[in-house]
């Protein structure tokens, strides 16, 4: 398998999951802000016509896109690691509830904050929206190690990734001690350290 990613983008979540699952995989960065080529010089639009990461190329050459689909695909390949509850259970729908929330209510609310063309009013409204949503997440995490309880799941890899964007847009997650502790706890996981190092976001050990 091969993951196409941009350092620190939402593709960090499948990168963490690949590490967490103990997969053997390749990865390659995309220059999303500049040439929109892969680091080895391929036109990224030929790999994913949608033009965004993450992209997972499977061993048979099929191309899988959309983070929540990629993340669940990976989790189901290593079911014994319990990165997602079993398909068909209510817990699985709880996981999907979180993935949809993180994707549509958090991840996409950050987009204007990274967009130089977005108006200041739009940015302000997006930031207020994110803060309201994070207030909710912080309450949900009270007394829990992870979003679904005691097991780290793919939803945690995704939420960790999105929470990390606060530092780039002037949003201090320290306002919510439960979120700050959660983020710090996940940051220390060996899989997270490995993915962050691979993306050049922390120095190599």
Ligand X SMILES: N[C@@H](CCC(=O)N[C@@H](CS)C(=O)NCC(=O)O)C(=O)O
The two three-digit tokens of residue 134, written as one number: 């994070």
Q: Which of 52, 122, 146, 187 binds ligand X (CB under 6 A)?
A: 52
Nearest residue to ligand X by CB is 52
Contact in structure between 157 and 147 (CB atoms under 8 Å):
no
Q: Does residue 21 interact with ligand X by CB under 6 A?
A: no
Near ligand X by CB under 6 A, which window of 15-23, 47-55, 82-90, 183-191?
Answer: 47-55
**2-5 and 26-29: which strand pairing?**
parallel
Q: Long-range contacts made by residues 145-152, C-beta under 8 angstroms, separation at least 24?
A: 145/185, 146/182, 147/98, 148/85, 148/91, 148/94, 148/95, 148/98, 151/82, 152/20, 152/83, 152/186, 152/189
Q: x/- binding map, residues 61-100, to ligand X, per CB under 6 A?
A: -----xx---------------------------------
Q: Does residue 48 interact with ligand X by CB under 6 A?
A: no
Contacts with ligand X in 97-116 (CB under 6 A)?
103
Q: Which residues bind ligand X (CB under 6 A)?
A: 6, 9-10, 32, 51-54, 66-67, 103
């Amino acid at each position: 398998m091969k993951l196409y990613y941009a350092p620190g983008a939402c593709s960090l979540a499948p990168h963490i999951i690949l590490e967490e699952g103990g997969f053997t995989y390749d990865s390659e960065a995309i220059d999303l802000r500049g040439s929109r080529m892969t680091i080895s010089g391929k036109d990224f639009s030929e790999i994913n016509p949608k033009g965004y990461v993450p992209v997972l190329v499977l061993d048979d050459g099929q191309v899988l896109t959309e983070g929540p689909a990629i993340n669940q695909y990976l989790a189901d390949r290593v079911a014994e690691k319990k990165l997602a509850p079993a398909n068909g259970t209510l817990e699985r729908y709880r996981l999907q509830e979180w993935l949809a929330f993180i994707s549509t209510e958090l991840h996409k609310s950050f987009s204007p904050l990274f967009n130089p063309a977005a108006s200041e009013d739009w940015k302000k409204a997006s930031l207020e929206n994110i803060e309201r949503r994070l207030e909710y997440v912080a309450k949900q995490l009270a007394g829990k190690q992870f979003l679904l309880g005691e097991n780290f799941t793919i939803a945690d890899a995704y939420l960790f990734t999105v929470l990390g964007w606060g530092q780039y847009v002037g949003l201090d997650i320290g306002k919510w001690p439960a979120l700050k502790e959660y983020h710090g706890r996940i940051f220390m996981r060996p899989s997270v350290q490995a993915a962050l190092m691979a993306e050049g976001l922390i120095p190599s050990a």
